[in-house]
């Protein structure tokens, strides 16, 4: 494989982490809507899936930014800009969504 066609590994990690964070929403929705015991489902989602999702959001943001810096530093000899940007956008979108939901709950508590 030629160096000019190499995809930046951090870009791949950022993309995969962002994708895992977004797919976790569907998994949480499926688990909460299943007919299983509520205690087990809450334990799985709150104890395992949500912390994993939060970690993936941070990893996607950091690795996406680092990948863009590395790609720029190497003069464009590596591919992966789009993957890095997708990871950044997914993670930033999730962070913004979380902040908005938090502000809505805060406002609801203040106005109640």
pLDDT of 36: 61
CB atoms within 10 A of CB 51: 10
pLDDT in tens, 32-89: 776 665 667 667 777 788 888 999 999 999 999 999 999 999 887 889 999 999 999 9
Residues 6+ apart with CB under 8 A from 61: 14, 87, 88, 91, 92, 95
pLDDT in tens, 6-38: 999 999 999 999 999 988 888 877 777 766 656
pLDDT in tens, 87-97: 999 999 999 99
How far is residue 21's CA from residue 87's CA, in Å, rounded to a whole number?
A: 10
Task: Indicate the SS3 state at residue 112.
Answer: coil
How far is residue 112's CA from residue 58's CA, in Å, rounded to a whole number?
A: 33
């Amino acid at each position: 494989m030629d160096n000019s066609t190499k995809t930046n590994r951090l870009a791949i990690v950022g993309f995969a982490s962002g994708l895992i964070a977004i797919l976790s929403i569907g998994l949480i929705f499926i688990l909460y809507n299943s007919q299983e015991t509520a205690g087990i489902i809450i334990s799985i989602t709150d104890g395992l899936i949500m912390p994993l999702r939060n970690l993936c959001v941070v990893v996607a943001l950091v690795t996406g930014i680092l990948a863009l810096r590395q790609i720029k530093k190497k003069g464009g000899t590596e591919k992966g800009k789009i993957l890095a940007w997708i990871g950044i956008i997914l993670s930033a979108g999730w962070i913004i969504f979380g902040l908005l939901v938090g502000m809505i709950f805060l406002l609801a508590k203040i106005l109640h």
